């Protein structure tokens, strides 16, 4: 016969991964947001295990390479369709040799095409003005308060809403248009490991006729 009383669920089965946990792991390892969140989920919230997972996956290797000086690269131009939409993007690497490789040029083209399609407003979250973020938070607070959500629940929900907001406007947070299973941050990490040099996205401009 089975147990008379069901066993309580394992504490780890309901582990909540917070934005604070992800930020802490990123500070410790330099890994990208998606990699850090995935590692924490796999480690069921255990920070040390998550670090080991990142080490094994190579994400930390990519982060360490990304710290190196990028004084070379290229300004890549892309014009879409009949010429009514164009993008210029600055992509930097460590050596002129890598900047001239097909792999690097292909990355620049992919990034320019992504910018044309996804229309990001900023490269990273750090570039988003504080007043813009605060305005979004206030809108979310008002909406959630009107729905009768408690204050502590509102703050947790807001973390997810802000993450979605950044994904819409920040290039590094956006899903790659050619493969939405990865972000632009993930794409860059993959290329850093494949090419073996630090790669960074600098400035970009997207010009659309009449807009």
What does 95-130 look like in DSSP terms, one character per residue?
-HHHHTSHHHHHHHHHHHHHHHHH--SBSSGGGS-H
What is the rounded distance in angstroms from the CA atom of residue 38 to the CA atom of residue 22? 9
Token pair listed for 35: 């990699």
Domain boundaries, the chain: 11-65, 69-124+170-208, 129-168
What is the rounded distance in angstroms from the CA atom of residue 54 to the CA atom of residue 204? 30
Residue 85: the pLDDT is 97
Token pair listed for 34: 């998606």
Low-confidence winner among 15-24, 173-182, 200-209 (lowest mean pLDDT): 15-24
CB 86 within 8 A of CB 79: yes
The pTM of the full predicted model, rounded to 2 decimals, is 0.66
**pLDDT, tens digit, for every residue of 41-60?**
888 888 888 877 876 766 66
Across 124-148, average pLDDT:
89
**Choice between 17 and 100, residue whose per-residue pLDDT is larger:** 100
CATH code: domain 11-65 is 1.10.8.10
11 by DSSP, 3-state: which? helix
Token pair listed for 169: 């406007």
CB 67 within 8 A of CB 94: no
* Topology annotation, domain 69-124+170-208: Tetrahydropterin Synthase; Chain A (3.30.479)
Residue 60: the pLDDT is 60
Could you tell me the sign of the dihedral formed by the alpha carbons of 89, 93, 95, 99, in that order?
negative
CATH 1.20.1070 correct for 129-168? no
Residue 2: the pLDDT is 42
- pLDDT-derived band at 144 (thresholds 50, 70, 90) equals confident
**pLDDT, tens digit, for every residue of 108-132?**
999 999 999 999 999 999 999 999 9
Low-confidence winner among 10-24, 46-60, 68-82, 97-111 (lowest mean pLDDT): 10-24
Residue 19: the pLDDT is 81
> Torsion angle of alpha carbons 179, 107, 87, 117, nearest 10°?
0
Alpha-carbon distances of 125 from 37, 73, 128, 162, 164, rounded to whole Å: 17, 23, 5, 10, 12
């Amino acid at each position: 016969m089975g147990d008379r009383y069901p066993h309580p669920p394992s504490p780890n089965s309901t582990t909540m991964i917070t934005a604070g946990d992800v930020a802490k792991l990123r500070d410790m390892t330099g890994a990208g947001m998606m990699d850090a969140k995935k590692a924490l989920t796999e480690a069921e919230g255990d920070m040390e295990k998550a670090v080991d997972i990142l080490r094994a996956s190579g994400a930390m290797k990519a982060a360490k390479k990304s710290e190196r000086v990028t004084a070379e690269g290229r300004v890549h131009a892309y014009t879409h369709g009949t010429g009514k939409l164009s993008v210029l993007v600055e992509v930097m690497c460590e050596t002129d040799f890598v900047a001239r490789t097909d792999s690097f040029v292909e990355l620049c083209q992919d990034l320019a095409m992504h910018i044309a399609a996804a229309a990001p407003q900023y490269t990273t979250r750090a570039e988003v003005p504080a007043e813009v973020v605060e305005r979004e938070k206030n809108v979310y607070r008002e909406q959630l308060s009107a729905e009768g959500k408690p204050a502590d629940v509102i703050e947790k929900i807001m973390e997810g809403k802000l993450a979605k907001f950044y994904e819409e406007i920040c290039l590094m947070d956006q899903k790659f248009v050619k493969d939405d299973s990865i972000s632009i941050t993930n794409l860059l990490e993959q290329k850093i490991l494949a090419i073996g040099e630090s790669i960074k996205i600098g400035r970009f401009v997207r010009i659309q006729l009449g807009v």
